[in-house]
Amino acid sequence: MKNSIGIKLFIGITLFSIIIVSFSWVLNTKFLEDYYFKKKQENLFKYAEAIQTMYSNNVNDIDFTLKSIEDSIGGNITILNENGIEIYGSMFMSHRGGKGKGNPKAMSLLTKKGLNKVLSGETILEYYIHPRFNTMSLVLAAPLINGNILIMESPVSSIKESVEVAKDFHIYIGIISLLAGTFLAFIFSKIFTKPIIELNKVAKSMAKLDFSKKYRVKNDDEINQLGKTINYLSDKLDTSISELNRANKRLMDDIEKERELEKSRKEFVSNVSHELKTPISLIQGYAEGLRDSVIEDEESKNFYCDVIIDEAKKMDKLVKDLLNLSQLEAGYYQLQKESFNIYKLSQKIIDKYLPILKERNITLQINCDNKKLKVYADIIRIEQVIVNLINNAINHVDDKKTIKINIRDYIEKVKIEIINTGKAIPEEEMDKIWDSFYKIDKSRARKYGGTGLGLSIVKSILNLHNNSFGVSNIDDEVMFWFEMDKWV
Ligand SMILES: Nc1ncnc2c1ncn2[C@@H]1O[C@H](COP(=O)(O)OP(=O)(O)O)[C@@H](O)[C@H]1O
Ligand SMILES: [Mg+2]
């Protein structure tokens, strides 16, 4: 709360009530007495006038009125006849001189000058100071009809007393007003600052980027309008910052992708160079050998030429595979799908392999659930898949020299399994073998002319078809499999 608007408001309102109370107290002490005097005098004149109009030589007619006026002014009324004899007078008068004896005492309240003025028809007001008690009275004397005189006397002490009482009372009123004012100031500052404190809380959490807190709008005053504006600002900021974050995330992802692309591009170039290095240096070496005629005999020359042709073939295969892969991975490759008999296609491919299988003494079995099975796919690309997988099986078959091809009929799919007896593929390599240029055993791959592109071509083709594929080790066999959409 220190230095807060609430404290300032509280101090302000309290000071204000102190000033108001003090000011009214000063005014009171300074002017109340004078005001009382003025009022008293005015009243005396007013009553004198009233008596003048009502009086008609018979005091008894207005006796009751005179009594009530005496009560009002807190003093005494005396009426003297033309001979100076008291025809009406209060008790007070009697112990000064006595009633009906030509009262010189009532007259003695007036100065000579005053008495003359009254006798000449003027109404006068004078002060009388009691010689023994030293008390002061206001004395009004007025002429009545037939030379009668009205004398009204009101003690000033009663005025002073009333003023003192009023002043005392005013002090109590002041203290009570101050206490009430302070209390109200406290309540008021609390009520006034509560929404401001709430607004501040909302703004503070906004500064910490927490937009969950909202101002509870209660009415339509300026503070609540500010609350509404802050709520609106909070919503706007929330959406903008979230959008910004999303955009930033996308940008980061793009940068990451770009980085990965750049990395794979570099890897690709280095892989291609590496693949080409060996055949090029071999071709170069053997060609130079031929030119420099290091060897004379025909047989050796033929061997040199065979090496050169063989290496050139490998380079040719590499370039063809690369072109193939880049075509498939370009993103706009269009498959030419058609329905065809998968058993017939497999048989046709196997026929081409018969000489090599015979030469290497490999047994190949084909099992088909249904020889009439048709699939819907790009026949040329599927042939490529099967050729690649059979090639791998031939290159990796072990001494048991057995290869199996299973064609399985499922509900919506046809599954092809190509299985060769051989060494299991380590679990951690199973994902990597599908990457370009990846070979588990590099020197072995070189012997059979492997580029490490075969399985990545298979993967690309099957991904384009949206078909599943995979590899698993079963006992002493390795099984590669893939699925195709069944034509029904
Ligand atoms: N039938 C298989 N048995 C064991 N390993 C295999 C088999 N087929 C593929 N591989 C492994 O996967 C790698 C990648 O195969 P591939 O992409 O066809 O390249 P390449 O045949 O040119 O070596 C091979 O180098 C080999 O290590
Ligand atoms: Mg291969």
The three-class DSSP label of residue 98 is: coil
3-state helix, strand, coil in the chain (%, to 5): 60, 15, 25
Any atom of ligand 1 within 6 Å of the Cβ of 425: yes
- What pLDDT score does 164 carry? 84
| Atom number, ligand 1, closest to the C-alpha of residue 418 | 1
The type of residue at 325 is L
Write the burial class of residue 199 (CB in 10 Å: 0-12 exposed, 13-18 middle, 19+ buried).
middle
- What pLDDT score does 100 carry? 39
Beta strands in 298-349 (DSSP E): 337-341
Distance from C-alpha of 317 to C-alpha of 451, rounded to nearest angstrom? 8
Domain extents for the chain?
5-163, 334-486
Beta strands in 118-212 (DSSP E): 124-129, 136-143, 149-155
- DSSP structure class, residue 430: T
Strand partners, 481: 417, 470
Residue nearest to atom 19 of ligand 1 (CA): 452
Local confidence pLDDT in tens for the 488 residues of the chain: 556 788 888 899 889 989 998 998 888 888 888 888 898 899 999 999 999 998 887 888 888 899 999 888 888 899 988 888 888 885 444 434 434 333 456 778 888 888 889 989 999 999 888 888 888 889 999 999 888 999 998 888 767 777 888 888 888 998 999 999 899 989 988 888 889 989 999 999 999 999 999 999 999 999 999 999 999 999 999 999 999 999 999 999 999 999 999 998 898 899 899 889 989 999 999 999 888 876 678 888 888 999 999 999 999 999 999 999 999 988 888 999 999 999 999 999 999 999 999 999 999 999 998 999 999 999 999 999 999 999 999 999 999 999 999 999 999 999 999 999 999 999 999 999 999 999 999 999 988 889 999 999 999 999 999 999 999 999 999 999 999 999 98
Residue nearest to atom 12 of ligand 1 (CA): 433
CA 84–ligand 2 middle distance (angstroms): 157
Any atom of ligand 1 within 6 Å of the Cβ of 445: yes
Superfamily of segment(s) 334-486: Histidine kinase-like ATPase, C-terminal domain (3.30.565.10)
CA 364–ligand 1 middle distance (angstroms): 19
Contact 109, 96 (CB under 8 A): no
Any atom of ligand 1 within 6 Å of the Cβ of 78: no
> b/e map of 377-403 (b: 16 or more CB within 10 Å)?
bbbebbebbbbbbbbbbbbbbeeebbb
Distance from C-alpha of 144 to C-alpha of 176, rounded to nearest angstrom? 50
Task: Please provide the CATH number assigned to the domain covering 5-163.
Answer: 3.30.450.20
Any atom of ligand 1 within 6 Å of the Cβ of 433: yes
CA atoms within 13 A on the CB side of 73: 29
- Ligand lying nearest the CA atom of residue 439: 1
Residue nearest to atom 25 of ligand 1 (CA): 439
- What pLDDT score does 98 carry? 39
- What pLDDT score does 2 carry? 54
- Ligand lying nearest the CA atom of residue 441: 1
CA 452–ligand 1 middle distance (angstroms): 7
